[in-house]
């Protein structure tokens, strides 16, 4: 019974972490759906967002004021990125666009550290990373308060954005642009406005993801690497599917935690760092479009 209780604790912790991976991956999906661009700079945007948020509070702004200021800043960053980087390169090859976002990542990282410094900051959201006891039918499990709060916030935001882009006029416009940009433009859908909105939304998503991860591991440059954990989520869920990143995030989070606890000791530990990528490789071999991605047929 104790072993089963411990397994449930590990599994729930992994699922909650998976929701935060889904939130990071969502930024990639939104941009890829709208413009076909893999935004390599998403991790840098996460770093810039949370570092700026903490920096504004260090300048004297209270939490409730620093949050909207940072949101506004990230909206402007997203819109400027679309206007100054993406739009001039419309019609270029995928490789050119990818290289542009790689260059953008280094620029954002440099600007963030020049503006706010390189010291590790502590972010206190008022939620302590301490376990709380959950009791159901005399079955007790311990779950971190921070994991629960972060999982709820990440889950609500992912679901809200999924509904926004699946049930609203903006969402229909986004799907039309994703299916055929030229056809969408010909029927009056403002292509540039859709792109700008999506990039601005990705900036806000980056802030929320950065706050959740910063509260757990500190506000530091290592947050840029969080985006790398989103890659298996994208591969497994599909680069164009919002529901896919939710399911894939849960799979990746649960897999890495369970593998670390039960398989890691046989390999000296550290398995959670590469287990998700092994899972992603298996998906690439068996189902390269992911669980919910669209199968691409190319004529040769």
Q: What is the pLDDT of residue 36?
A: 76
**Residue 252 domain flag:** no
Domain with 110 in it: 2-223
Residues of the chain with confidence (pLDDT) below 70:
1-2, 129, 134-139, 177-182, 293-300
Give me the chain's average pLDDT, please: 83
Q: ∠ CA 138-144-146 to the nearest 5 degrees?
A: 140
- Residue 264 forms part of a structural domain: no
* 33 domain-assigned: yes
Sequence-distant (6+) residues with CB within 8 A of 258 are: 7, 10, 11, 14
At residue 10, the pLDDT reads 87
Q: Quote the pLDDT of residue 103.
A: 92
Question: Do the domain assignments include residue 200?
Answer: yes
What per-residue confidence (pLDDT) applies to 7?
A: 86
Answer whether residue 190 is part of any domain.
yes
Does some domain include residue 251?
no
d(CA 74, CA 46): 10
- In degrees rounded to 5, what are phi and psi of residue 121? -110, 155
Residue 170 belongs to some domain of the structure = yes
pLDDT at 294: 65
pLDDT at 1: 59
User: Which one, of 198, 204, 161, 197, lies nearest residue 68 by Cα?
Assistant: 204
Q: Is 63 within the bounds of a domain?
A: yes
pLDDT digits (tens, 9 = 90+) for 140-192: 777 888 888 888 888 888 788 878 777 777 777 777 766 666 677 777 777 77
Total of domains in the chain: 1
CA-based torsion, 98, 237, 13, 16: positive or negative: positive
Res 66: pLDDT: 92
CA dihedral sign, ordered 10, 13, 14, 15: positive
Q: Residue 251's pLDDT is what?
A: 92
């Amino acid at each position: 019974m104790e072993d089963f209780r411990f397994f449930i604790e590990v599994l729930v912790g992994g699922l909650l972490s998976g929701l935060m991976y889904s939130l990071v991956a969502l930024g990639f999906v939104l941009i890829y759906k709208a413009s076909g661009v893999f935004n390599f700079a998403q991790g840098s945007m996460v770093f810039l967002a949370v570092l700026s948020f903490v920096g504004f509070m260090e300048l004297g702004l209270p939490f409730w004021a620093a949050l909207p200021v940072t949101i506004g800043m990230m909206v402007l960053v997203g819109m400027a990125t679309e206007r100054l980087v993406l739009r001039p390169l419309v019609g270029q090859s995928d490789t050119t666009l990818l290289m542009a976002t790689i260059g953008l990542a280094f620029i954002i990282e440099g600007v963030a550290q020049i503006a706010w410094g390189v010291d590790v900051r502590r972010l206190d959201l008022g939620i302590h990373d301490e376990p709380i006891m959950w009791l159901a039918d005399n079955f007790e499990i311990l779950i971190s308060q921070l994991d629960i709060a972060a999982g709820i916030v990440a889950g609500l935001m992912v679901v809200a954005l999924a509904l926004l882009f699946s049930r609203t006029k903006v969402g229909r416009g986004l799907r039309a642009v994703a299916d055929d940009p030229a056809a969408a433009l010909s029927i009056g859908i403002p292509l540039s406005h859709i792109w700008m909105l999506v990039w601005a939304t990705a900036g806000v998503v980056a802030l929320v993801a950065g706050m959740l991860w910063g509260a757990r591991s500190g506000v530091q440059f290592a947050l840029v690497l969080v985006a790398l954990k989103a890659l298996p989520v994208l591969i497994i869920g599909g680069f164009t599917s919002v529901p896919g990143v939710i399911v894939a995030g849960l799979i990746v989070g649960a897999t890495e935690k369970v593998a670390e606890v039960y398989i890691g000791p046989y390999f000296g530990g550290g398995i959670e760092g590469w287990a998700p990528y092994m899972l992603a490789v298996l998906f690439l071999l068996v189902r390269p479009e992911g669980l919910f991605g669209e199968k691409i047929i190319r004529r040769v």
